[in-house]
Amino acid sequence: MIETWLKETVTSPYDLRRKIIPDGTASVTGALMELCDNARADLILTTGGTGPAPRDQTPEAMQSVLEKELPGFGELMRRVSLEQAPTAILSRQTAGVRGKSLIVNLPGRPASIELCLNAVFPAIPYCLDLIGADRIETDPAKLKAHRPRAETRISNFNTKRFQDNERSFRTRTHGDH
């Protein structure tokens, strides 16, 4: 689902890995830190685990992992999901930055995932620019990435980085970035 959406949307080359993490604050925290600090993923998309049930611990892990929380992601994802179901307010999904990685919590239900991706992804390429992650391009026919004009000149000379991460998504470093 997420992979198909990315394949249709992101036109710059990227490596995509997928990882299944058992429920629990420690396991999710560990996996996220590994992806950010060792694998140096540019973008990490999680799915599920954001509800109010005892097993839902993704937000607790996010609190340990994030250096900067970006509350606008969760606000917008809940707002668009509310058009589908009033229970959208039960989601504690958020997003934020750790080092040069952006982590975004997506909902667990497939119908809501696409809705949320369409809502927040237009801001993601510029966010990756700002935090020093790799530059990505999207297919404008599918989704228009917004880069405010005055700041698109920020240069982005990331050195090539190895990665062995899963459940993450990162662009390959190319000379034209």
Name the residues that contact a second copy, by CB under 8 A: 51-54, 56, 59, 68-76, 78-79, 82, 85-92, 97, 102, 109, 120, 122-123, 126-127, 130-132, 146-148, 150
Closest separation in Å from C-beta 150 to a second copy: 8
The nearest distance, CB 164 to a second copy, in angstroms, is 25
Six-digit token string for 110: 């497939």
Do strands 101-106 and 14-17 pair parallel, antiparallel, or not at all (unpaired)? unpaired
Buried-state track 78-103, b at ≥16 Cβ within 10 A, e below 16:
beebeeeeeebeebbbbbbbbebbbb
Relative to beta strand 43-47, strand 14-17 is unpaired
**Least Å from the CB of residue 133 to a second copy:** 10
CB of 132 to a second copy, least distance (A): 7
Q: How far is the CB of 86 from a second copy (least distance, A)?
A: 4
Nearer to a second copy, 142 or 164 (CB): 142
Report the DSSP beta bridge partners of residue 15: 170
Q: Toward a second copy, which CB reaches closer, 97 or 113? A: 97
- Tell me the C-alpha to C-alpha distance, in Å, between residue 35 and each of 61, 103, 114, 130: 13, 10, 23, 19
DSSP string of 117-139?
HHHHGGGHHHHHHHHT-----B-
